[in-house]
Chain A
Amino acid sequence: MSDDLLAVADRVVAMAAPGEQVEAVVVRGVDTEIKVYGGEVESLSSAQSQGVGIRVVVDGRQGFAYAGSLDEAVIAETLAEARDNAGFATRDELVGLAEPDGVPVQELDLFRSSLAEARPDDKVALALELERAVLAADARISGIESAEYADGVSEAAVATTTGIRSVGRETSCFVATYAMATEGDDTQTGFGFSVGRDLADLDPGRAAAEAAERATRMLGAVKPPTGRLTVVLDPWVTAQFLGLLGYTLNGDAVAKGRSLFADRLGEAVASPLVTLVDDPTDIRAMTATDTDGEGLATRRNVLVRDGVLEMFVHNAYTARRAGTVSTGNAVRGFKSTPSVDCLFLSLQPGTTDPATLIAGIDDGVLVQEVSGLHSGVNPVSGDFSTGAEGLRIRGGEVAEPVREFTIASTLQRMLLDVQAVGNDLQFLPMNAAGVSLVVADVTLSGS
């Protein structure tokens, strides 16, 4: 149980000197990772790790230090280092720890003792089943690039001199695979996965079928001609797009003049079809959590309603700068001070299924994979350009596969150009949900 972690955090806080604010975040995790190849276990790693991060605020100056150990002597050294670091920061009266805000913490069902107690053999069996299912899915499947099972059991405690004491624990697991399909000289790849909180949630068969389908349907892909058209982002791609959008709505980017929506509160920034919610209390999300990185209760926040920008997300510091209260969006590991970010973004789903969305498009592309989002999208300027692959849409039907092209627009325009939101909400191993999204007037750059 996480009580011993809270006890460690309490001991750190008790060492605060007069006039000092001290915060300790203490974490422990057991992670297992199993990779299989050729019907054998390629590697099996299992290990426990722990760490402590200590923040000291004195006289409006903040210092931080961390260590990958809960040894008492190491903790004392870490606190001294954080204290020393604080002396070098610029004084800022708004700097300080979070304070209890009275928002009750919701009890979320995020921990399964069944996973913590599962036998390694059962995990290995799932990974082997995944590989077998991929190889058997289609005669054109030529191999796997990877097939793996991974899980984590994690616990965290936060305590502060301002009266915060929070603990949380959770389990998560997934199976994931990259399949390769080959026909002649042509090799294509496809990704499939299944996520859950314990082994019973996982569906290796579905993950395998999805990877095989995505790989085989790309065989014979050609480079499409350059032009402007409508794209359908598949749920996996939409989720990555939402992740980028999340940056522009974080209170730190807003306060420091790095958000392109900074002055747009209350204005229409997106198509009326867009309602964007950040809700880490949705337990279907892999990133669901009942408390944030500063120990405050997480909550459901509607950021964009019917296309109108309603709010930004904040941690304690960015909230003070904006003259508001924390939205429970502090994000951190034990190796850093809290930043601010969306925790689980999703678009409110529409009522149309993906096939009907496609039937309404005369000339377009269904994008099933994107690459280089980190190198071709600038969330400060809004410039958006990404490598892509997928299937051509002609006359309302899915046609030939296409690859080695880019799609480009700007984040601002893409939000306004949303034509439809699908009804196929999907939960993915990331901090955003996926749903099919139709965006008009995107530039496809190819041959």
Chain B
Amino acid sequence: MIEEAVLQRVLGSALKTGGEFAEVFAEDRRNSSALLDDGRVEELTSGRDRGAGIRVVVGDTTGFAHTADLSEAGLLAAAEAAAAAAKGGGGGTRTVALTRRTASRGYDIETYPGDVPKARKVELLTRADEVARSTGGAISQVSVSYGDNRRRILVANSDGLLAEDDTVRTFFAVSCVATGDTGMQTGRESVGHTVGFELFDLYDIDELARRAADRALTKLAARPAPSGQMPVVIASGGGGVLFHEACGHGLEADLVAKGASVFRDRVGQQVASKGVTVVDDGTMAKEWGNIAIDDEGHPAQRNVLIEDGVLTDYMWDQLRARREGRPSSGNGRRQSYQHLPMVRMTNTYLLAGSDDPDDIVASTEKGVLVKHLGGGQVNTATGDFVFGMTEAYLIEGGKVTEPLREGNLIGNGPEVLQRIDALGNDFAMGPPGTCGKDGQGVPVGDGVPTLRVSSLTIGGTAA
């Protein structure tokens, strides 16, 4: 994307005002998407974003500037702006020698979506629409979306690091509305992986469309969710957003350093039930949060955050790790070249236990089974978090009975981690997610086995 000699001159210029660390992050991204709604292919969209972000660190201050102009002149202007923003006191000339590092994601993209005819993408949309509508007259509306992107990045910094990555992601989602006597209900199913068009060898579009439709149809007969505290069983593969919110964000070193996490000063302590092991793993092949390198050039890692209930480590980016004199954990990510990196999750999951999932439900006298989770939100300073249930059922006498309408569940991270009293042997990853932090969205994955929390607050309206 940019010649090595140019990178060296730009980094040298960025350090001219006395910066201790400088970095060039260049990105070339192409997006393509197609949307079917209301029975019609509404539009295909193509997009291109290309540019570089340059940061300079002086003491505790980071200066940042970005440019869409990747010429040497454009990069030098951005370097100067970043250096001025960081306002170093000293000066002088430093020469940066770059060493190219290679990081592989361990598998190849089979079919680049850019090589697939647009007509083929449109066929997928129409097929999913037909199948969803064929599930019954109560399906009153269907929208189907396809998306792919290819993101090439280059990172060079004054520590001499030079690394590149080329990432392809492909996504597909079906959303249905069902209409009945009780009003309207929605059902959605999505799949996304860090792969090319071979995504559609991994999934059957018909099956996906049927599941989205069934989810909406089932909820037409749903009763209001209960209110108050009771045991909650989370189904395998329904989504690990519970852990993403309950402890993931609280283990990000930038929040910990500011005292804005209930998990500060707790490394080495028992923070979760025995048997609970939580991992953040950017190397997980083909998963939505997969990266070969993070957006600071560090190779992706598998990081154990909680092992058998004991907090082992936080997640780190370059800046926080540098201050603590330790290596980055490969969790420095950013939405685009227009953003500064910060500590972010990749694929966050809970390892399987040994319980039979059926036994977990059968041993629950009264509770809620959440089969499919929606998004969530956490206040890391208090630990209070919510997550939505988009497909849930009542458990009565150890049996799954009636479907429930949508709502949030609320709990406190450290308390909920201690209340996990059953872990199934049936781990599965959940649907692709976009994690938002400080206004930046990045793709993340999550997964859980079937598990039970002995008490969570269900945010319904029924007694």
Contact = CB atoms under 8 A, between A and B. Distances in A.
Interface in A164-208: 178, 180, 187-189
Given A180-B259, A446-B457, A49 B66 contact: yes
Interface string B23-43: 000000000001001111111
Contact of B407 (A85, A92, A336, A385): A385
Contact of B386 (A40, A376, A380): A376
B207 interface: no
Interface of B: 34, 37-51, 59-68, 78, 81, 85-86, 118-119, 122, 140-141, 177, 179, 183-186, 219, 225, 227-229, 255, 258-260, 262, 338, 340, 374-379, 381-382, 384-388, 405-412, 438, 457-461
B459 A46 contact: no
A380 B177 contact: yes
Nearest to B219: A381
11 contacts: A67-B49, A68-B68, A85-B44, A178-B260, A189-B260, A260-B184, A376-B406, A380-B184, A381-B406, A383-B407, A445-B459
Given A44-B61, A89-B42, A383-B405, A443 B122 contact: no
Contact of B61 (A41, A84, A260): A41
Nearest to A388: B410
Given A46-B85, A385-B408, A403-B382, A371 B43 contact: no
Those 6 A-B pairs whose CB atoms lie nearest each other, nearest first: A406-B459, A375-B388, A376-B408, A385-B407, A372-B386, A445-B227
A143 B184 contact: no
Nearest to A77: B48
A382 B177 contact: no
Nearest to B42: A89
A102 to B, nearest CB: 28
Nearest to A43: B62
Given A189-B382, A403-B382, A44 B49 contact: no
Nearest to B409: A406
A351 interface: no
A417 to B, nearest CB: 12
A68 B386 contact: no
B202 to A, nearest CB: 24
Interface in A50-102: 50, 62-69, 74, 77-78, 81-82, 84-86, 88-90, 92
A374 B51 CA distance: 31
Contacts of A143: 258-260
Contact of A257 (B60, B177, B409): B177
B123 to A, nearest CB: 10
A378 interface: yes
A360 interface: no
Contact of A145 (B119, B227, B381, B459): B381
Contacts of A372: 375-377, 386-388, 408, 410
Nearest to A255: B38
